[in-house]
A = this chain, B = another copy of it.
Amino acid sequence: MSDQRLVRPAPISGFPEWLPEVRMVEQRWLDRIRDVFERYGFCSVETPSVEVLDVLMSKGDTSNEVYTLHRVQNDGGASEARLGMHFDLTVPFARYVAQHFNSLTFPFKRYQIQRVWRGERPQEGRFREFTQCDIDVINVDQIPRHFDAELPRIIHEILTELELPAWTININNRKVLQGFYEGLGISDPLAVIRIADKIDKIGADGVAGLLTSELSLEPRQVSACLDLAQIRGTDASVVDEIRKLGVTSPLLDEGLDELSFVMDELSDLPSGSVVADLSIARGLDYYTGTVYEGKFVDWPNYGSICSGGRYEDLAGSFIRRNLPGIGMSIGLTRIFAKLVAEGIVKPGPSSPSQVLVAVPDETRYALARATAAQLRSRGINTELYHQADKLSKQMRYASRKGIQYVWFPPFDEEGIHEVKDMATGDQAPADPAAWGKSINPA
């Protein structure tokens, strides 16, 4: 032990870290998410953690959240000062598609599961380092509407497989909003969208006030906007409700057509899990059609657990091609951390081992090692205890690590192996060449 002054290790605010038994669950989640993405034919892409600042800033609005990289002792090279950590996976993906345009097959369908970094003030549901799970489709000139329905179906399948507490995926269409506002004779529909998006935070009265004071809308316009924002429904019948408001415009027709297509396509999903909600707008200006926002039912103010939408021109800063896209993102860390904090995520075992092969004494070490190797070769995760020791100590080690089976090798190759099930206490003879067919796969 050194006599030097200790550096006390402590958590860093906004940078989550898990014990092994919790990480085990997170890893299982990540595996499931990846499985579903691949089941639908999305390929994996990873990009560097950094982009040059010009790329990160090409969308303009997040500059003070970006972390930039510097050397402790800068050697005079200025190049690194231009690097920033990515704050989402959409901008890096747009850059990736533009850069590798000639090597990709379109429509290009990728998933990307990576950490992102934001220099925000940490608070519940907001981290400085967190893992996002994104899928996007990007194509030349047009995105078939098939994807407007397939993406929420994929995310639905994932959220279902993860057995999360009650949630909904809310769906809207920016063309419906914009077309409706245009039909009302409003000259700046985007300004209305930006204000209407705050309805969660400031309520209908707050929105009405801003529409009047900031945009000088007439009472009839304000009232129609609020009527629209209050429409919610679990199927395409919301379209009739919207039409009943008596507003028309070509863009509105287009949006309603798209919205009813999506709701119809998803009508086989459990009722209430996908909801058309005309109040959601997704603040980001680049969405142009279908938009998505998932929420926990019991924690409506916790923030979205997934979100996304259709955009016309995300790579336009990087390449002179028309590359529209559609994407959704699961906020893995936000969801996972909440469910850990609520005690809903139950920690797994702290070891992936299914079997601990005991070493009762030094003479049986070689046979124990051979037995462990044999079990491993049969696909069973097997730990060999690291030295001859009291059996009670070895069994306690297995219990603490959540290893279900302890294996006792015989004294010689002719002897009989035995296995103890730590869950039931049963101990029985076992053949290392055949045992374990009924245990759960690793």
Chain A positions within 8 Å of B, measured between CB atoms, are 1-2, 4, 6-13, 15-20, 23-24, 27, 38-55, 58, 63-73, 75, 79-80, 83-85, 95-96, 98-100, 103-105, 107, 109-110, 115, 117, 119, 129, 144, 146-147, 150, 313, 316-322, 350-353, 356, 376, 381-384, 386-387, 397, 400-401, 403, 442
State the 5 A-B residue pairs at the shortest beta-carbon distance, nearest first. Answer: A41-B383, A15-B48, A41-B353, A9-B99, A38-B352
Q: Do the beta carbons of A50 and B129 come within 8 Å of each other? A: yes
Give me 14 other A-B pairs in contact (C-beta within 8 A), A20-B44, A44-B352 excluded. A1-B322, A2-B316, A19-B100, A38-B352, A39-B381, A41-B352, A41-B383, A49-B49, A49-B117, A68-B69, A80-B119, A105-B400, A109-B383, A146-B384
Q: Which residue of chain B has its CB nearest to the CB of A107?
A: B386
Closest Cβ of chain B to A416, distance in Å, is 24
Cα of A147 to Cα of B386 in the assembled complex, Å = 7
Cα of A10 to Cα of B98 in the assembled complex, Å = 10
Cα of A258 to Cα of B20 in the assembled complex, Å = 31
Closest Cβ of chain B to A319, distance in Å, is 7
Q: Do the beta carbons of B318 and A350 come within 8 Å of each other? A: no
Q: Do the beta carbons of A50 and B401 come within 8 Å of each other? A: no
Q: Do the beta carbons of B384 and A313 come within 8 Å of each other? A: no
Given A38-B381, A381-B41; A72-B83 close (CB under 8 Å): no
Residues of B within 8 A of A397 (CB): 105
Q: Do the beta carbons of B42 and A352 come within 8 Å of each other? A: yes
Q: Do the beta carbons of B27 and A44 come within 8 Å of each other? A: yes
Q: Which residue of chain B has its CB nearest to the CB of A366?
A: B265
Q: Which residue of chain B has its CB nearest to the CB of A377?
A: B39
Q: Do the beta carbons of A72 and B80 come within 8 Å of each other? A: no
Copies of this chain in its oligomeric complex: 2
Q: Do the beta carbons of A9 and B320 come within 8 Å of each other? A: no
Residues of B within 8 A of A403 (CB): 41
Q: Do the beta carbons of A39 and B2 come within 8 Å of each other? A: no
Q: Do the beta carbons of A9 and B67 come within 8 Å of each other? A: no
Closest Cβ of chain B to A80, distance in Å, is 7
Q: Do the beta carbons of A43 and B351 come within 8 Å of each other? A: yes
Q: Do the beta carbons of B75 and A64 come within 8 Å of each other? A: yes
Residues of B within 8 A of A50 (CB): 12, 15, 129
Q: Do the beta carbons of A2 and B313 come within 8 Å of each other? A: yes
Most buried by B among A43, A69, A119, A313: A43
Q: Which residue of chain B has its CB nearest to the CB of A157?
A: B376
Q: Which residue of chain B has its CB nearest to the CB of A55?
A: B7
Most buried by B among A52, A69, A318, A320: A69
Cα of A139 to Cα of B351 in the assembled complex, Å = 16
Most buried by B among A39, A64, A84, A313: A39
Residues of B within 8 A of A18 (CB): 46
Q: CB within 8 A of A43: which of B24, B69, B85, B150?
A: B24
Q: Which residue of chain B has its CB nearest to the CB of A83?
A: B12
Closest Cβ of chain B to A72, distance in Å, is 5
Q: CB within 8 A of A17: which of B20, B47, B58, B400?
A: B47
Q: Which residue of chain B has its CB nearest to the CB of A319?
A: B6
Residues of B within 8 A of A107 (CB): 386
Residues of B within 8 A of A15 (CB): 48-50
Closest Cβ of chain B to A359, distance in Å, is 9
Q: CB within 8 A of A129: which of B1, B48, B350, B387?
A: B48
Q: Which residue of chain B has its CB nearest to the CB of A369?
A: B265
Q: Do the beta carbons of A350 and B72 come within 8 Å of each other? A: no
